[in-house]
Amino acid sequence: MFISNCIPRFIGLCIILFVVLFCNSCVKQESGCTDMVALNYNPDAIKEDGSCVYDLPIPETYFFMRQNVSSVAHKPESAFQLLVHDCYQACLNLNNSSATANDLLQYYTYTATTTTDNEPVTLAINVNVTPYTPLINDYFDWNVQVALDEVLVNTYSADTVVNMCIDSIVFRANTMPSTIGTPAIHTLANNIDAAALLHTSLLGAVLYANGHSKLDNSSNADNTTLVSGTNYTAQEQVWDESFGYFGAATDWHHYDLSTLSNETMAFSDSDNDGFIDFEREYNFSFPQMAAARDVSNLAIGEDARFVPNLSYQFLRGRTAIVNKIDTARITAKRSVLDTWEALIAATIIHHANAVLVELNEITQVNYTLNYHWTYMYGLLQALRYNPDVRLFDIEGYLSLLGAAPIYNISAANNVATLINDIQSTYDFSAAETANW
């Protein structure tokens, strides 16, 4: 009786054990790369098999992927680029007698939001990309949550300067309608070009200040885990944000330099979808500056020094982050920061050279002189946002130039001093300096 009762129980236990062992062997125990920051991370892998790949070659364009999805994200920075562009363009549009001054402050303070009746507050994007169509028509579509005045670095009271420029232009438009349609609309009583001062203030205090800071402090960002809800690390993110503040298209170094230097042509429908994606297919102010200086160099037999170097080092550094090679990233970071600074310095020389030309052709009101002098002065101010700037005593040079254009040939000596000192500091050749 005992044996007859045990046999069925034993058989039952054996069957259960067999089923458990058999089913366990049938469950898919997928092996693969389990490191989330690896290029070939397999979310289905349970067992690490040592196949993780980190060694990415430097790509041809600024396009990086993880898990078959782009790991590059700098849409907010592209929105800031557009807002800076459109704020300046709104000033220039006042040269058109049909324009109004209403949008100037809106571009500076705009944050995508909704009104009390739940209607979106929209602000049109004011960029001409003919014959293509902008991928978006208004900022609300990008859900811009932070305004320019909120990301502006106010170390040197740039917010006060920007608001002064806007208020002055709006005041002139409202009280001196005869100036609408002429450069006088943004020419202040002291001959400062308020549109140029507005633009350089935003270039310096928003784009350069934040871009430089992000890149300079990238070593402090984590590169071991992905940012929650994303497919990129914090270090990849800050590098991409800096690239966004620089404002180049993903394939900008493949452009013809003359095309890249021309604002009306500095874009390309690279994916052939009939639209221009401002995050990936449009080149803003700094890439255009770089191309303009390189075009001048090539015209006199000098090497292109800005576009090739900046594009390669941005790519090299981002690739080094993916590959976790800190030495290469740090070298690339230093090269980008130094070359970006030198680009601004070279563009100061460009405008200073134009000032010297105009000082020899002084008229009662010389709008061209005002424009170049203000850009020279404003970009010199922008360099202050670099705590390691190589040009010694920028405040001294600003004082030397004075607070406004001086319609006096003796002012040429001070401008020439600035040019010579910049040339020496950044090791520009005499031919480059003269031709910029």
> Whole-number mean pLDDT of the chain?
89
Confidence grade of residue 156 (pLDDT, cut at 50, 70, 90): very high
Q: Which residue has the higher pLDDT, 105 or 96?
A: 105
Whether residues 24 and 150 fall in one domain: no
Residues 53, 37: Cα–Cα separation, whole Å: 9
pTM for this predicted structure: 0.88
pLDDT score at 15:
52
Residues 289, 312: Cα–Cα separation, whole Å: 17
Residue 36 has pLDDT above 90, yes or no: no
Q: By the 8 A CB rule, do 169 and 101 touch?
A: yes
Whether residues 50 and 94 fall in one domain: no
Residue 415 has pLDDT above 70, yes or no: yes
Confidence grade of residue 21 (pLDDT, cut at 50, 70, 90): very low
pLDDT score at 18:
47
Q: How many domains does the chain have?
A: 2
Whether residues 38 and 94 fall in one domain: no
Whether residues 100 and 198 fall in one domain: yes
pLDDT score at 115:
66
| Of 357, 351, 353, the residue nearest 371 (C-alpha) | 351
Tell me the residue range of the domain where 23 lies.
Answer: 2-59
Residue 181 has pLDDT above 90, yes or no: no
Domain assignment of residue 195, yes or no: yes
End-to-end CA distance of the chain: 108
Whether residues 98 and 52 fall in one domain: no
The distance of Cα 319 from the centroid of its chain, to the nearest Å, equals: 18
Question: What number is the average pLDDT over the span 78-82?
Answer: 96
pLDDT score at 20:
43
Domain assignment of residue 64, yes or no: no
Confidence grade of residue 92 (pLDDT, cut at 50, 70, 90): confident
Over residues 262-305, the pLDDT tens digits come to 999 999 999 999 999 999 999 999 999 999 999 999 999 999 99
Domain assignment of residue 200, yes or no: yes
Residue 17 has pLDDT above 90, yes or no: no
Q: By the 8 A CB rule, do 204 and 394 touch?
A: no
Residues 144, 89: Cα–Cα separation, whole Å: 19
Whether residues 367 and 231 fall in one domain: yes
Whether residues 246 and 310 fall in one domain: yes
pLDDT score at 22:
45
pLDDT score at 29:
65
Domain assignment of residue 183, yes or no: yes
Residue 5 has pLDDT above 90, yes or no: no
Question: What number is the average pLDDT over the span 301-312?
Answer: 97
Rg, C-alpha atoms of the chain = 28
Residue 252 has pLDDT above 60, yes or no: yes
Domain assignment of residue 290, yes or no: yes
Whether residues 29 and 105 fall in one domain: no
pLDDT score at 23:
47
Whether residues 92 and 199 fall in one domain: yes
Residue 183 has pLDDT above 60, yes or no: yes
Residue 191 has pLDDT above 80, yes or no: yes
Whether residues 279 and 137 fall in one domain: yes
With pLDDT > 70 as the criterion, what percentage of the chain qualifies? Answer: 90
Reduced 3-state DSSP string for the chain:
CHHHHHHHHHHHHHHHHHHHHHHHHHCCCCEECCCCCCCCCCCCCCEECCCCCCCCCCCCCCCCEECCEECCCCHHHHHHHHHHHHHHHHHHHCCCCCCCCCHHHHHHHCCCCECCCCCECCCECCCCCCCCEECCCEHHHHCCCCCHHHHCCCCCCHHHHHHHHHHHHHHHHHHCHHHCCCHHHHECCCCCEHHHHHHHHHHHHHHHHHHHHHHHCHHHCCCCCECCCCCCEHHHHHHHHHHHHHCCCCCHHHCCHHHHCCCCCCECCCCCCCEECCCCCECCHHHHHHHHHHHHHHHCCCCCCCHHHHHHHHHHHHHHHHHCCHHHHHHHHHHHHHHHHHHHHHHHHHHHHHHHHHHCCCCCCCHHHHHHHHHHHHHHHHHHHCCCCCCCCHHHHHHHHCCCCCCCCCHHHHHHHHHHHHHHHHCCCHHHHHHC
Whether residues 107 and 243 fall in one domain: yes
Domain assignment of residue 198, yes or no: yes
Domain assignment of residue 65, yes or no: no
Question: What number is the average pLDDT over the span 334-358?
Answer: 97
Whether residues 24 and 132 fall in one domain: no
